Structure 1
């Protein structure tokens, strides 16, 4: 195992290829993520969790 890239929030690892297997149309609580560094371009609406998965993947891409 290479490590847990999710738990290292101060120094996120980046990769050449990021595969995101998002769950489409999942509802999530976007209010708790307003200050999350992964969403510096904005928090996605509660009805668009698939976009949140994509933003998280972009954070880890080179």
Structure 2
């Protein structure tokens, strides 16, 4: 998958998050009582740079 771009739709972003999520992260979430049935398994160290690059866009769908 290409690098994130601010023009991505919400579906593109979720697909990217699913692709970078790991089972190891989901296991760590489960240890803290997080329901991992629908968790993407993405750590904050991956999520924060992505959020900075994508910026806020309330019209994104």
Q: TM-score per shorter chain, which class? A: under 0.3
Rg larger in 1 or in 2? 2
TM-score by length of 1: 0.23
Please state which structure has a larger fraction of its residues in helix. 2
Provide the TM-score with structure 2 as the length reference.
0.24
